[in-house]
Amino acid sequence: MKLSKKQFKQDFEERLTSKFATDLTKAGYQEIYDALASVVKHYYANIWVSDNQYKDETGKKQAYYFSIEFLPGKMLKSNLLNLGMLKTVREGLEDFGIELDEVAKVEPDMAIGNGGLGRLASCFMDSLASTGLPGNGNGIRYRYGLFKQKIIDGYQVELPDSWLNNGNPWEVRRADKAVEVTFGGEVWLEDDGKGNLIPHYKDQERVLAVPYDTPMIGYENTTVNNMCLWRSEVPEELDPKFQNLEYMRQTSMLSAELYPDDSNYDGRLLRLKQEYFFVSAGLQRILHHYKGTQKKDIRRISDYIAVHINDTHPALCVPEFMRLLVDDYGVGWNRAWDTTVKVMSYTNHTILSEALEKWPEEMVKQLLPRIYQIIVEIDRRRTAELLPKIGASLVHNTRIIKDGQIHMANLSIIGSHSTNGVAKLHSDLLKDVELHDFYEIYPERFNNKTNGIADRRWIQIANERLSGIIDETIGKSWRHDLDELKLLKNFKDDEKTLEKLQKAKYDDKLRLAALIKEKNGIIVNPDAIFDVQVKRLHAYKRQLLNALHILKLYFDLKENPELDRVPRVFIFGAKAAPSYHYAKSIIKCINEIANMINNDQTVKDKLKVVFMENYNVSLAEMIIPAANVGEQISLASKEASGTSNMKFMLNGTLTIGTLDGANIEIFEAAGDGNNFVFGLTKDEVYEYYRNGNYNARDIFEQNPVVNRILNALIDGTIPNIKSEGREIFDSLTVYNDEYFVLRDFNDYVRAQADLEKLYRDPKAWAQASLMNIANVGRFSSDRTVKEYADDIWYIKAKKE
């Protein structure tokens, strides 16, 4: 959008005064931020209205991405960038003596997601709009986002994240579009005399679902999609039975808190209620829109909408859509089922068995009696149909209801036309192993969609310096098409370009070093290798392997302080699920290892360890550009994809990693020698599982280095760790090291040494860094969403 600096300054000043009855001499940052956001909203409002009109008039098919989590981070700069106003606004504010970056700090991170899954949903929102694809989000407007992490005496402490305290300028409450969602009570079917079974209800608990719409603005185009988030409220007219405080409390609880557990199934009733709440509200709104405003024939609804089930949390989309079609819109069962399968599609994000969702039948029956009936009916019909065709064992293994539980992945696969994994290796594992029985029955439903990232946020916003250098070198076409970065390859031997890249990295390191000093009080050497591991804390991600290697480096230096070592700064950022005791023990250990090393004068500035608290999207935007090395060291087969690996690659960081998830595709794209690979392969891991012959105790006893390091966890070497050291020691030596940390240790040490060797050759390092950037194109989520659009949703981009 064209906007002159003069116009902006005038609009901004006027808005500041009209909104807050203040002026530039007196306004605080909160007021400046609110006035600025309000002006920006004014700028996009018309585009939003027009694009909605365009969508309605053309009646084009739209996709709806149902996700119980979104993790957008801050929106101010991203909205400005996408509107093409970032520079104008920055300069306009500068004229007033205001720094845009200072204003941006006021905005709280919108952190209504845990980690990769939620962040992926937000990258998709950005990419859908930016590629002109009609794709919208549907989720929950949690009053409290993911907890704020404090580190106190080395321990994680969780504080509430009340991100809405100062309001949220981007959202629009649409009270007119509220719908009701009902729970519990009794339901029975009665024949209407024409052979139709009509459900009748008694004593249902009603909850009002109010939508809040947040615009998803496309990058320099005219598309504005919608992220719809639902808030639960008490309906105005309540049955006397429900006019009590407990009911009111329960109702507001529904959209109060995000469950902070990732990679783990938590079978609590409130969670199930949340899942049904946003699914039912979202589908009702969609159907109202198409049936009411759009006057579409409901029997053809699959031509107009696609609904995506992001992991199994929205799996109730399948029976709820059936309920709406059959009960509310009078569609016959068979037609409704065909339509549902056509409309729905599903992404799996993990094979960890503890994460697979299943709900006790009794619970579903009590809370969602009609939905329960429909699930039973889907399961019954399918079983009857398939038994004669494929035999009892395949049917049994793939049933939705088994052993008194409802299996949400089974429901999602059976009720949709597409199931995808999030990287090649992961999708193959789904087909070959984890979901093999389903693959036998529905081979055509399985496909891969390798994840991607919204590159605009992760380089144009997070790394303006590097972006500028790339512009100078190859022009600006890469800002619209990330594949264009391949032009950088022509500069692989150009000393000037390599120097500029090194300088950018150095400046980003200085910026991070300043932040570390401010937050952690630790002074780090900007010439050191910045070696970063940022992600949720989980045993399978093996932060422990990193920590053990740090101990090795430390002991080497202790023994020989003059050792010729490239200085290193190890940086961690990680939240542990509050109930995940082992993960919290690892955080404590890392912090105590950090204390020991950072306070030891013998290692001087050759080694520093920094744990940055409260890792979130905004912190990631500071840390990732400054990383020389990114750690992607999960046990092969466990990390479905990973997405920080792509953000690092985009910022010229070299990866040290296993052959897991999307790492494999990254290594291949970047080319040999440009990253550091180590560890067991997926096949070797499965071989161990088959033979049951892994023995971690042997490694502990026979490898003197491992022996020395592990003993340090329990012999008082590391001051101030108590039971945590023992707990970790035992997990490796007594409970046989579930994630093969000790098995991969030696090869990891070898890869770390290779890395250090390359770093001593600045030119070779810069070349490898350049090759990572140049080959990152396919990891743009623009590519990913186009694949979803073409292969799964059948939606088309708007032509500008």
- Residue numbers at the binding site for ligand NBX (CB under 6 A): 114-117, 120, 261-263, 349-350, 355, 422, 451, 639-643, 661
CA angle 633, 634, 638 (to 5 degrees): 155
Radius of gyration, CA atoms only, the chain: 27
β-pair partners for 421: 448
Tell me, rounded to whole angstroms, the distance of Cα 652 from its chain centroid: 21
Calpha distance 586→195 (Å, rounded): 62
Phi, psi for 335 (deg, rounded to 5): -65, -40
Residue 310 or residue 769: which is nearer to ligand NBX going by CB?
Answer: 310
* Closest approach of ligand NBX to the CB of residue 661, in Å: 5
Q: Which of 449, 536, 538, 608 is catalytic?
A: 536
How far is the C-alpha of 67 from the C-alpha of 312, rounded, in Å?
A: 9
Give least dist CB 443 to ligand NBX, A: 23
Q: Which amino acid is at 294?
A: Q
Closest to ligand NBX by CB, 463 or 784: 784
Q: Which of 148, 535, 606, 743 is catalytic?
A: 535
Catalytic site includes residue 349: yes
Catalytic residue among 55, 206, 349, 479: 349
Tally the C-alpha atoms within 13 A of residue 152's C-alpha that lie toward its C-beta: 6
Alpha-carbon distance 397 to 391, whole Å?
11
Between 116 and 314, name the residue whose CB sits nearer to ligand NBX.
116
- Annotated catalytic, 399? no
**Active site annotation includes 643:** yes
Is 87 a catalytic site residue?
A: no
Tokens of 400: 């939705």
Active-site residue identified among 449, 509, 541, 575: 541
SS3 628: coil
What is the smallest separation between the CB atom of 115 and ligand NBX, expressed in angstroms? 4
Is 541 a known active-site residue?
yes
Q: How far apart are CA 126 and CA 78, in angstroms?
A: 9
Task: Please answer whether residues 554 and 607 qualify as being in contact, where contact means their C-beta atoms are separated by less than 8 angstroms.
Answer: yes
- What angle do helix axes 723-733 and 704-712 make, rounded to 10 degrees? 150
Q: Which is nearer to ligand NBX, 315 or 629 (CB)?
A: 315
Q: Give CA–CA dist 573/335, Å, rounded.
A: 50
Cβ distance to ligand NBX smaller for residue 285 or 535: 535
Residue (119 or 285) nearer to ligand NBX, CB: 119
| Widest distance between CA atoms in the chain | 92
Please identify, using beta-carbon distances, which residue of 422 and 435 lies nearer to ligand NBX: 422
Q: Closest approach of Cβ 781 to ligand NBX, in Å? A: 11
The two beta strands, 205-217 and 172-173, are: antiparallel
Q: How far is the CB of 179 from ligand NBX (least distance, A)?
A: 25
Q: Report in angstroms how near the CB of residue 393 gets to ligand NBX at its nearest.
A: 29
Q: 3-state SS of the chain: helix, strand, coil percent to 5?
A: 55, 15, 30
116 or 282: CB nearest ligand NBX = 116
The token pair that represents 642 in the structure block:
């990973």
* Residue number, nearest CB to ligand NBX: 116
Catalytic residue among 347, 450, 643, 733: 643
| Contact criterion met (CB below 8 Å) for 262 and 117 | yes
Hey, what amino acid is at 219? Answer: Y
CB of 657 to ligand NBX, least distance (A): 13
Report which residue type is found at 184. G
CB 414 within 8 A of CB 378: yes
Q: How far is the CB of 117 from ligand NBX (least distance, A)?
A: 3
Tell me the catalytic residues: 349, 535-536, 541, 643, 647
